[in-house]
Amino acid sequence: MYFGLSEEQRMIEDSFRKTLERNVTLDSIRAVATGCVPLDHALWQELTSLGLPSLLIGEEFGGAELGLLEMAVAAEELGRTAAPVPFIATAVMAPLALQLAGSPDQRERWLPALASGRMRIGVALAEQAAGARRNGGITARGEKLYGKANFTLDAGGANACLIADARGRLYLLDMTAAGAKIVETRTIDGTRKLSEIHLDAADAEPLEAADNWTCEHILNAGRIALAAESLGAAEEMLRRAVEYAKERRQFDRSIASFQAVKHLCAEMAAELEPCQSLVWYAAYAFDHLKEEAALSACLAKSHIDEVARFVARTATEVHGGMGYTDVMGLHFWFKRIGFNRAQLGGPERLRAEAAELQGF
């Protein structure tokens, strides 16, 4: 038994960390968040050459054919820098769906393009992941799709979108298809937008081999990757809180010497420390222990959603008034954590699923 990263996985971690530290600044996050630029192309290029969108894709299509654990390692680093790039849909869920259930032609058309970062695919599975809200729901009649898909991930600027109908069948929708209207909505996290997709007799090509398991499988992957990203974001918030507390002086002392402040930091550290193992295990289970993948994903994301929220508010509090300002930019991490919590099932939903999975 070896419960830790291999040398290769540590190298992936290290290269993502260094690249992101070099390429993500508060200014670059702000530029995307305030809508000045729709996508940080330079960063996307860097991450593409590091292999982010190709990580899960098979070698025959130009990918690295690695597992979700490697993706989780990269995701944690994306969270650590609050990197303003699309990720969950186009780099995790869409490639997995295409590889599992795409026809040879679909794989040939899409996977190399995804791997090279030339094209991106959004994912509209909010209804499947967390239930339908706000009149969401897609129905198929004949060859056409009708209805509205809410809260679509990474659809802005994407070339296509993975979408499911009410029976759980998966389709690839060309973003320019007749009868499709896409409305992008801002979220609290300015760097992660969601879209509404309105379909009225729109053409979409089915992923013929997709079944319920395909949908469940890619949801598990998305949930684990989100958990990893939130973990990285929370770790960074704690690091900043500790650093700030050491520097900030009041009453002629560093505020880090006050137990009131220290204990908040200790609580954050104590809650966060075991989360790393939860993420690694869930990703490992996804790669190697199929029967545990769904439960592990639910436990990991639900728990980390809660811990990350606690860290987000507490680390902000430790920063005092400065934490509340835009100057420090701490709120970008705070918002990323809030965004991720609501995606693909919040903690209450995931716990209900976990109970169901265990036959309660």
Partner 1 sequence: MDLTDRAEHRAFREEVRQFIAGHKDEAPEDTTQSYRMQPRRYSEAVRNWQRLLVEQGYACRTIPKEYGGFGASEDILKNRIIAEEFFNAGLPQTLLNQGISMLVPTLLEHGTEAQKQEWIAPTIRGDIFWCQGYSEPNSGSDLASLQTRADEDGENFIINGSKIWTSSAHIAKMIFCLVRTEPEASKYQGISYLIFPMDTPGIAIRPLQTMTGHPSFNEVFFTDVRVPKSCVVGGRGNGWKVANSTLKHERGMLSNATQSQDRLNKIARLLKEERVDGEPVSKSPVFRDRFIRLQARVQSMRLHEMRLMTRAGDGLGSGLGDMICKLIGCELNHQLDALAIDIMGEAGILYEGIPDAARDDFWQQLYMYDLGLIIGGGTAQIQKNIISERGLGMPREPRAEKE
Contact residues for partner 1 (CB under 8 A)? 1-6, 9, 69, 242, 245-246, 253-254, 256-259, 261-263, 265-267, 269-271, 273-278, 280-281, 284, 288-289, 296, 298-300, 302-303, 306, 348, 351-352, 354-355, 358, 360
For 122, half-sphere exposure in the C-beta direction (CA atoms, 13 angstrom radius) is 27
State which residue, 72 or 207, has the beta carbon closest to partner 1.
72
State which residue, 3 or 291, has the beta carbon closest to partner 1.
3
State which residue, 39 or 269, has the beta carbon closest to partner 1.
269
Least separation in angstroms between CB 148 and partner 1: 28
Least separation in angstroms between CB 41 and partner 1: 34
State which residue, 273 or 326, has the beta carbon closest to partner 1.
273
State which residue, 101 or 256, has the beta carbon closest to partner 1.
256
Cα gap 172→178, rounded to integer Å:
14
Least separation in angstroms between CB 40 and partner 1: 31
Residue type at position 29: I
Contact 223, 346 (CB under 8 A): no
Cα gap 311→308, rounded to integer Å:
5
State which residue, 68 or 153, has the beta carbon closest to partner 1.
68
Least separation in angstroms between CB 294 and partner 1: 13
Burial class (CB in 10 A: 0-12, 13-18, 19+), 167: exposed
Pairing of strands 160-164, 121-124: parallel
Cα gap 237→107, rounded to integer Å:
39
Residue type at position 268: M
Cα–Cα separations (whole angstroms), residue 294 to 131, 170, 210, 287, 328:
17, 19, 18, 12, 38
Least separation in angstroms between CB 188 and partner 1: 25
Least separation in angstroms between CB 226 and partner 1: 15
- Radius of gyration over alpha carbons of the chain, in Å? 20
